[in-house]
Chain A
Amino acid sequence: MTQRSELIRLEQLCFSYHGTEQLVLDHLDLVIEQQDYVAILGTSGSGKSTLLSVLGLVNPPGQGHYFLLGHDVRQLTDKSVALLKNREIGFIFQNFNLLNHLSVYQNLCVPLSYNSDIPRSMYREKAEQVLQQVGMLQFSDRLPSQLSGGQQQRVAIARAIINNPSLILADEPSGNLDSATAELIFDILQQLNEAGKTICLITHDVGFATKAKRVLRLSDGRFISNG
């Protein structure tokens, strides 16, 4: 077994939304290593999405520490936060969050446009590569409204991986999909993990959770068992 390096480390991490007292995340400790596949289960309102937002650097951590790739997130400048979001994190949402006025290809270009390492001439090639991966190559010129829910989610996955991030955060990716389509999505996630991506998945479906290497249960902002 190869020595895996640590991707995420939470130490006594807390979080409250601005202007509220409630600790949505309550002194969490967690380590996620590279190429791990973690599923987080929990009732609605238990703080799963909030945890994901903090992990994805969308919400800043409260008390405690969050180390991402060895960096203390609190110490990071705005610029490095933006850089990490762009290069190291891919987000998948329950409601896809595609830009409806842009074509599939243009949607894929959005994260590329904030990545100065990739020249514009490479966009087409990059996009085709990830679309191939999710099996959507023939739809690249469609608008999101011309796609089914499952197809939209596949595009969203393609967008999440286009900058080749090490971490993929998925917030109930199958929540809006029928079970057959959901199956397809989880297959893609499985492949991504096998290809070396670290995945942190939120789901309410215990069946899909079992595909993960580890299952965590969150309740009122605390982990109740480590699997």
Chain B
Amino acid sequence: MAKSKLVADLLQNWWLRHKTSAGTWLSLWLVSLPIALLLQVWAIQNTYLSPGFAALNPSVTVTQIVHQQGTAPSPLASYLVKEFKQRAQLTVVYEKMRWLKWSEADQEHEVAASFISGGFNALGVKPALGSFVAMEFPAADTQLQVAISYQFWTSHFQQKNVIGHTLMLNGKLALIAAVMPERFVSFRSEQHADLVVPFSFLPLLGLADADQLSPDVFSYLLHNSPLSPQLAQLEVELKNEALLFDDESFTTSAAFGMSVRQFETIKARLGLLSQLFMGLLVFSLLAFTSHIASASDKRLNEMSLRKMLGATSAQLGYQRHLEMLIILSLVLVFSLLLFWPCASLLGLMLPDIPATEFELSAAKLRVLLQLLLVVSLVISLILYAQHRWTQHSLGRGATVSKAEKMQTFVLLAALFVLSSGALTYSSQLLLQQWRYSQLDRGYNTEQLSIVTFDFPKFGGTYFVNKLPSLLISNLMATAEIQQAALTSTPVLHPAASYVTFYTSTGAALTGRNNAQVLTNHISPNYFELMGIELLQGESLNWDNYWQVVISESLWQQHFKDIPLSQAQITQTMNDGERRAIQVVGVAKDIHRINPDDPVTPIVYRVTPTITGQEFIVLKSTASVEPLQQLVQQELSKLDTTLQNPKVISVSDLIRQQQAPQLALLSTSLVLTLVVLVSSLLFCLNAVSLLTRKSARELALRLTLGARRRQLVLKELFTLSVIYLPLVLSTALALPDWFTRLDRIISNSAIYLLFIGFNLIFLLFILVVLYLSVRKIKHQSWQYLQ
């Protein structure tokens, strides 16, 4: 009873004391942010870098094994698998993804199949229905048995019992042996499988020949004991028996369901980020500690008052523990609150990883709790040390020792130099990003989409007909599409074809030293749609294939001094004949891929027919999905063999293009923010603690005739003696660290910014010092009594 009353009293007391303390809340959020970011990184590591992503729960260790031949990685060949089995009793599992044709009635569907040799039991996959027994390493000449995904089961079989039913896959009859568990998505990251098929049936399904061990096959070892000693011994044995050449070796990796290189990239990036966030955590803990130190120094009076009012030291200890608990719980709550917002932040920082739904599994919860435990321990330690320290420095108010002051100043200087560096870096990045966004690509990207589609190829046959113009006019007739055009070389896309042309003087028409020039087969309205200005002449027309429009840079290089009507180029035909082509127009240059790349010299020519190499470009305000349906409709109206249109908006492409820069920018902004706020907080607390601890000396000096200004300048001088050399030496090293950016930014701008930021910080310190001394002055009598 009494205890709960005490708790309520202390809680209320804490709340009253801290509710308006901006410093407390800021430092709590500040500590929580890196924790939340770390939690996210670890959640991603858990999701991507462990088999857990595929709802597996392996009872053995799963290790991807790569057979390295020189620099070329490949899966483990079957002759090696045999040796692994015989010599080391190691089970090898193959995995790969392929599309299969599933015929149902007279319809044919494409289904995604995950081929896996077996090992369901060891991987910890439990069927929702049926059994995997027949799918564990079956021989190729047995009955083909497959498992279907839970989704496939629900959507095609309405969850009837399908075990024992058959499917027609690539013309072969397959028996359904099992339904995969509901949470199973795939054995490969970022892909989903409709079917799971034993690997040994690849030849039966007509997919085996050369592909069987293509580089997209992943091979895994399932094992219980550590692998490396066994593997090293195997390598020696196999080399002795000439089964393995000298430049061949085995490398292993924890990567499951993804290529080792991708795995290593993500792992390295995540490792770097977690180190970075660890660093940030240290900074924010520093700021946090300084705040606690300053706050508890202010509270010494309250503590001694409570003691005088009869609080036992047990009760005071109780209060301390309770406050520790409050702080820890708040950090926990704040970290969890920040956890989800941090997911989108990390999405920006890690563009290679698509955002995932984070599910709180038991394993992840464990990681989460472990991290929080570590942080709690650290914070508790800090609070404890803090308590000890204030107890020992009870003779306060006299003066701080020189060492203490130096320590604080060195830390302060280091923090502010670091903040200035981070600020300089971020501002340079921002500037670079802004300049980049201001660059003119030479065409209008607004409302622009690019459509790819499949076109059945029949050898080298061309159909010269009105198909392209019909397709364009049909598309433009719809209400949703404002404009449509064809192009063989779309912007922001790697597809490109090159052709050799000559000028009338016999020189190769080219912008570079390469003899070929990028040729874009377009519909005549392409320029209008793209907003590419025609500087001279006119656009192409459907009926004349022997006309071209060339880009400005080509014109400047080859035809600058002649009238347009005399500008001609030639093309050598297959039979050796040279045909003349009239230049009818000059189009403004564009930056086809990157706005900061040099302009691309382009020859534009009309597309006489749809050959399957074309892309449609659209101007439309409609979003991607309705557009896709619309294009599908129009395509199949025209010709049922034109299939599978995929619409990508150009703004998405630009976003993808910018993702790495954005990742760098967002990372550096987060870093800057945390370091900056930590430094400011630390400065406020440390200076106020320093002045409060030397209050008596300051008060005495003021009474003996010192002016505030003199006292402040004296401290500032001491600080500057430490700070300025640090600033200057860091400034000198700075351009080296910023080499990534030197394409745009000058060294002098970096010096200027860096030193400018530091001067602002020095000014900030000055103001804080001045205010603290002023506060002492107003109470100086009290300190002298």
| Interface status of A101 (Cβ within 8 A of chain B) | yes
User: Could you tell me the distance between the alpha carbons of A114 and B714 in the complex, rounded to whole angstroms?
Assistant: 12
- Chain A residues with CB under 8 Å of B785's CB are 49, 95
| Interface status of A100 (Cβ within 8 A of chain B) | yes
| Interface status of A58 (Cβ within 8 A of chain B) | yes
- Asked whether B399 lies within 8 Å of A110 as measured between CB atoms, the reply is no
- Asked whether A114 lies within 8 Å of B705 as measured between CB atoms, the reply is yes
- Given the known interface contacts A58-B781, A99-B700, the answer about A115 and B401 at a Cβ–Cβ threshold of 8 Å is no
- Asked whether B401 lies within 8 Å of A58 as measured between CB atoms, the reply is no
- Asked whether A114 lies within 8 Å of B706 as measured between CB atoms, the reply is yes
A100 in complex: contacting residue of B399, B701, B704, B780, CB < 8 Å: B399
- Asked whether A111 lies within 8 Å of B781 as measured between CB atoms, the reply is no
Binds B, one of A75-83, A178-186, A196-204: A75-83
- Asked whether B703 lies within 8 Å of A85 as measured between CB atoms, the reply is yes
- Chain B residues with CB under 8 Å of A84's CB are 705
Contact string, B693-709, partner A, CB cutoff 8 A, digits 1/0? 00011001111111110
A111 in complex: contacting residue of B696, B705, B710, B780, CB < 8 Å: B705
- B693: min CB distance to chain A, Å: 13
A82 in complex: contacting residue of B401, B706, B780, B781, CB < 8 Å: B706
B705 in complex: contacting residue of A53, A83, A97, A99, CB < 8 Å: A83
| Interface status of B778 (Cβ within 8 A of chain A) | yes
User: Could you tell me the distance between the alpha carbons of A110 and B700 in the complex, rounded to whole angstroms?
Assistant: 10
- Chain A residues with CB under 8 Å of B706's CB are 82, 86, 114
- Asked whether A87 lies within 8 Å of B705 as measured between CB atoms, the reply is yes
- Asked whether A110 lies within 8 Å of B703 as measured between CB atoms, the reply is no
- Chain B residues with CB under 8 Å of A91's CB are 703-704
Q: Which residue of B lies closest to A60 (CB)?
A: B778
- Asked whether A115 lies within 8 Å of B705 as measured between CB atoms, the reply is yes
Q: Which residue of B lies closest to A111 (CB)?
A: B704
A78 in complex: contacting residue of B399, B696, B707, B781, CB < 8 Å: B707
- Given the known interface contacts A49-B785, A78-B708, A82-B706, the answer about A97 and B778 at a Cβ–Cβ threshold of 8 Å is no
Q: Which residue of B lies closest to A88 (CB)?
A: B705
- Chain A residues with CB under 8 Å of B710's CB are 114
- Asked whether B401 lies within 8 Å of A101 as measured between CB atoms, the reply is yes
- Asked whether A58 lies within 8 Å of B703 as measured between CB atoms, the reply is yes
- A150: min CB distance to chain B, Å: 20
- Asked whether A85 lies within 8 Å of B781 as measured between CB atoms, the reply is no
- Asked whether B707 lies within 8 Å of A56 as measured between CB atoms, the reply is no
- B690: min CB distance to chain A, Å: 15
- Chain B residues with CB under 8 Å of A56's CB are 703
* In the complex, number of A-B residue pairs with CB atoms less than 8 Å apart: 57
- Asked whether B705 lies within 8 Å of A18 as measured between CB atoms, the reply is no
Identify which of residues 104-163 in chain A touch chain B, using a CB-to-CB cut-off of 8 Å.
Answer: 110-111, 114-115, 159, 163
- Given the known interface contacts A97-B696, A101-B401, the answer about A85 and B704 at a Cβ–Cβ threshold of 8 Å is yes
- Given the known interface contacts A83-B705, A85-B704, A110-B704, the answer about A93 and B784 at a Cβ–Cβ threshold of 8 Å is yes
- B583: min CB distance to chain A, Å: 83
Q: Which residue of B lies closest to A82 (CB)?
A: B707
| Interface status of A22 (Cβ within 8 A of chain B) | no
- A220: min CB distance to chain B, Å: 19
- A114: min CB distance to chain B, Å: 4
- Asked whether A58 lies within 8 Å of B398 as measured between CB atoms, the reply is no
Q: Which of A82, A93, A95 has the most CB of B within 10 A?
A: A82
- Asked whether B697 lies within 8 Å of A18 as measured between CB atoms, the reply is no
User: Could you tell me the distance between the alpha carbons of A18 and B401 in the complex, rounded to whole angstroms?
Assistant: 31
| Interface status of A59 (Cβ within 8 A of chain B) | yes
Q: Which residue of B lies closest to A86 (CB)?
A: B705
Identify which of residues 660-717 in chain B touch chain A, using a CB-to-CB cut-off of 8 Å.
Answer: 696-697, 700-708, 710
User: Could you tell me the distance between the alpha carbons of A99 and B784 in the complex, rounded to whole angstroms?
Assistant: 12
Q: Which residue of B lies closest to A56 (CB)?
A: B703
Q: Which residue of B lies closest to A87 (CB)?
A: B705
Q: Which residue of A lies closest to B400 (CB)?
A: A101
What size tier do the contact residues of chain B reach?
Answer: 20 to 34
User: Could you tell me the distance between the alpha carbons of A53 and B303 in the complex, rounded to whole angstroms?
Assistant: 29
- Given the known interface contacts A18-B778, A58-B781, A97-B784, the answer about A114 and B399 at a Cβ–Cβ threshold of 8 Å is no
- Given the known interface contacts A53-B781, A59-B781, the answer about A97 and B707 at a Cβ–Cβ threshold of 8 Å is no
User: Could you tell me the distance between the alpha carbons of A95 and B783 in the complex, rounded to whole angstroms?
Assistant: 11
User: Could you tell me the distance between the alpha carbons of A78 and B773 in the complex, rounded to whole angstroms?
Assistant: 14
- Asked whether B700 lies within 8 Å of A97 as measured between CB atoms, the reply is yes
Q: Which residue of A lies closest to B708 (CB)?
A: A78
User: Could you tell me the distance between the alpha carbons of A191 and B152 in the complex, rounded to whole angstroms?
Assistant: 109
- A92: min CB distance to chain B, Å: 11
User: Could you tell me the distance between the alpha carbons of A82 and B402 in the complex, rounded to whole angstroms?
Assistant: 26
- Chain B residues with CB under 8 Å of A18's CB are 778
- B20: min CB distance to chain A, Å: 17
Q: Which residue of A lies closest to B401 (CB)?
A: A101
- Chain A residues with CB under 8 Å of B703's CB are 56, 58, 85, 91
- Chain B residues with CB under 8 Å of A100's CB are 398-399
- Chain A residues with CB under 8 Å of B780's CB are 58
- A113: min CB distance to chain B, Å: 8
- Asked whether A99 lies within 8 Å of B704 as measured between CB atoms, the reply is no
- Asked whether B704 lies within 8 Å of A101 as measured between CB atoms, the reply is no
User: Could you tell me the distance between the alpha carbons of A59 and B779 in the complex, rounded to whole angstroms?
Assistant: 9
Identify which of residues 390-422 in chain B touch chain A, using a CB-to-CB cut-off of 8 Å.
Answer: 398-399, 401-402
- Chain A residues with CB under 8 Å of B708's CB are 78
- Chain A residues with CB under 8 Å of B784's CB are 58, 93, 97
User: Could you tell me the distance between the alpha carbons of A84 and B705 in the complex, rounded to whole angstroms?
Assistant: 7
Q: Which of A18, A56, A83, A101 has the most CB of B within 10 A?
A: A101
- Asked whether B704 lies within 8 Å of A86 as measured between CB atoms, the reply is yes
- Chain B residues with CB under 8 Å of A114's CB are 701, 704-707, 710
User: Could you tell me the distance between the alpha carbons of A20 and B399 in the complex, rounded to whole angstroms?
Assistant: 29
- A51: min CB distance to chain B, Å: 12
- Chain B residues with CB under 8 Å of A78's CB are 707-708
- Chain A residues with CB under 8 Å of B778's CB are 18
- Chain B residues with CB under 8 Å of A163's CB are 705
- Chain B residues with CB under 8 Å of A93's CB are 784
Q: Which of B401, B696, B785 has the most CB of A within 10 A?
A: B785
- A40: min CB distance to chain B, Å: 16
User: Could you tell me the distance between the alpha carbons of A85 and B781 in the complex, rounded to whole angstroms?
Assistant: 14
- Asked whether A82 lies within 8 Å of B399 as measured between CB atoms, the reply is no
- Chain B residues with CB under 8 Å of A58's CB are 702-703, 780-781, 784
- Chain A residues with CB under 8 Å of B399's CB are 99-101
- Chain B residues with CB under 8 Å of A86's CB are 704-706
- Chain B residues with CB under 8 Å of A95's CB are 785
User: Could you tell me the distance between the alpha carbons of A188 and B757 in the complex, rounded to whole angstroms?
Assistant: 56
- B717: min CB distance to chain A, Å: 14
User: Could you tell me the distance between the alpha carbons of A163 and B708 in the complex, rounded to whole angstroms?
Assistant: 20
- Given the known interface contacts A49-B785, A58-B781, A59-B781, the answer about A79 and B398 at a Cβ–Cβ threshold of 8 Å is no
- A69: min CB distance to chain B, Å: 15
User: Could you tell me the distance between the alpha carbons of A49 and B784 in the complex, rounded to whole angstroms?
Assistant: 11
User: Could you tell me the distance between the alpha carbons of A159 and B702 in the complex, rounded to whole angstroms?
Assistant: 14
User: Could you tell me the distance between the alpha carbons of A163 and B706 in the complex, rounded to whole angstroms?
Assistant: 13
- Chain B residues with CB under 8 Å of A49's CB are 781, 785
Q: Which of B700, B704, B785 has the most CB of A within 10 A?
A: B704
User: Could you tell me the distance between the alpha carbons of A29 and B746 in the complex, rounded to whole angstroms?
Assistant: 71
- Chain A residues with CB under 8 Å of B700's CB are 97, 99, 110
Q: Which residue of A lies closest to B402 (CB)?
A: A101
- Chain A residues with CB under 8 Å of B402's CB are 101
User: Could you tell me the distance between the alpha carbons of A163 and B705 in the complex, rounded to whole angstroms?
Assistant: 11
- A42: min CB distance to chain B, Å: 16
- A32: min CB distance to chain B, Å: 19
- Asked whether B705 lies within 8 Å of A79 as measured between CB atoms, the reply is no
Known A-B contacts: A53-B781, A82-B706, A110-B701. Give 6 more (CB < 8 A).
Answer: A18-B778, A84-B705, A85-B702, A85-B705, A111-B705, A115-B705
Q: Sort A-B residue pairs by CB-CB distance and give the 8 closest, nearest first.
A: A86-B705, A85-B705, A114-B705, A111-B704, A82-B707, A53-B781, A114-B706, A58-B781
- A–B complex contacts, Cβ < 8 Å, 13 sampled: A58-B702, A58-B780, A58-B784, A78-B708, A79-B707, A82-B705, A86-B706, A99-B697, A110-B700, A114-B704, A114-B705, A114-B706, A115-B705
Interface residues of A (CB under 8 A from B): 18, 49, 53, 56, 58-59, 78-79, 82-87, 91, 93, 95, 97, 99-101, 110-111, 114-115, 159, 163
